[in-house]
Amino acid sequence: MKIRSDFKDVITAVYDSPIGRIKISASNGRIFEIDFTDSDVITDPSLEYFTSQLDEYFYGNRKIFSAEYDLHVSDFQKKVYEIVSRIPFGEIITYSDVANMLGNKYLSRSVGNALASNPLILVIPCHRVVRTDGIGGYTGGIWRKRWLLSHEMAI
């Protein structure tokens, strides 16, 4: 994911998780991007409030993230992300379910495309959305999606 050039005073942190490095980017105290990365980034200590939440999530002590964030996405994506953000920890729904909640059963593919562009992995838990006939895709890789679902179902 590309960092928007209109953000000022961007700070970043890299969190080493059980499923790989996660890069967190924020501006003006609000997170705007969380994504998997291979890069080494100097971690800004002011993002410790969020990396500690990641610790709690991966150790099984957190089910909901509490962070202020900025979303610079389309209105359609916002609607999809609002629905997906309400999926309870340890539960799944299908792309078709989300499409139906949007009022159009034919939007499943558009829902998948919106989730593929999710700028806030884990916070907007797109890994909890699956196909009716299988697991579906995941920007971080299917193995990560399986790991996250297994992790949440085991707690």
Residues noted as catalytic: 126
CB distance 58 to 79 below 8 Å: no
- CA-closest candidate to residue 78, choices 60, 64, 62, 98: 98
CB distance 84 to 112 below 8 Å: no
- CA-closest candidate to residue 69, choices 107, 106, 124, 110: 124
DSSP SS3 for 36: strand
Contacts of 141 (CB under 8 A, 6+ apart): none
Cβ atoms within 10 A of the Cβ of 86, count? 10
DSSP SS3 for 130: strand
DSSP SS3 for 142: helix
